[in-house]
Chain A
């Protein structure tokens, strides 16, 4: 069984890895739009992770576009 800390690490890893991939793919290399789905794996709270990355000075959130529902 994974500890809560390990699960949190994994969730951060997944978010950061997605940002990394988007960063690589984006045309200018630095500015990316990051899409967060509420139906993500496990208990991760991606918004909190993004806020914490911003607090650490690793990313800047330029704009938040609210929500968009897909059916």
Chain B
């Protein structure tokens, strides 16, 4: 039985800057977490089908034929699928290999387990023990040491994603103050004490004082909009921060810690 899909075509003229303003406002308030999870589930189901149908037996997956086309037919947005696949192939997740270097890709052993809903060995080990993710810098203040130790003591990431994200914001603010005082030797203006202006101020100062790696890493953290995402969901009784977002924040903060307390 063939499935018929009807398309309508519209030629649009986008009215700037009203559209851009609307887009950015919408991006802030939309449930991006739910959207992302929806697309991830679609990809995961499709990968599971590939494994079960014997397609994925160590051979390469052709993204166009095996993923984009069937997912598009199911109505998933093409760009959402592409971006999500990139994230799944990133260093943080490592579910997919060869993505970006080649048009084809393969599932890693970790990715196969994930697609099939099987527990990952590394996750099983952490859930039985402690998260133990952060190296606590010797030069850090007692306050940061305590906050990092508290995170390291957690048994797992996913059930504590809200707590971790919230704590990471506090840790970030303390790191920024340390960088301004000890690395850059600059005084923080009174109107730059809150996290967002403090982050912008520190990035500007890092650029001026040629602390390029710090500036780049802080700018990456700022541009990823974690603060907006976390702010939107963290004070909502019913919403958890996506554990992938919490994990990405942890990766960023770990890297910034190593640069700040060197």
Contacts and interface: CB of A to CB of B under 8 A. Distances in A.
A58 B27 contact: no
Interface residues of B, number: 35
Interface in A16-56: 16-21, 23, 30-41, 47, 50, 53, 56
B11 A62 contact: yes
Contacts of B74: 39
A1 B231 CA distance: 20
Given A13-B35, A58-B19, A37 B9 contact: no
A34 B9 contact: yes
A68 B5 CA distance: 8
A57 B151 CA distance: 48
A12 B25 CA distance: 12
B190 interface: no
A58 B77 CA distance: 21
Contacts of A69: 4-7
Contact of B23 (A20, A30, A66): A20
A36 to B, nearest CB: 5
B10 interface: yes
B8 interface: yes
Contacts of A12: 26, 30
A60 B77 CA distance: 22
Interface residues of A, number: 45
B27 A63 contact: no
A6 to B, nearest CB: 5
A16 B28 CA distance: 13
Contacts of A68: 6-9
B31 interface: yes
A23 B11 CA distance: 11
B15 interface: yes
A58 B14 contact: yes
B9 A33 contact: yes
B4 A70 contact: yes
A10 to B, nearest CB: 6
B34 A16 contact: no
B75 A39 contact: yes
Contact of A41 (B3, B13, B38): B38
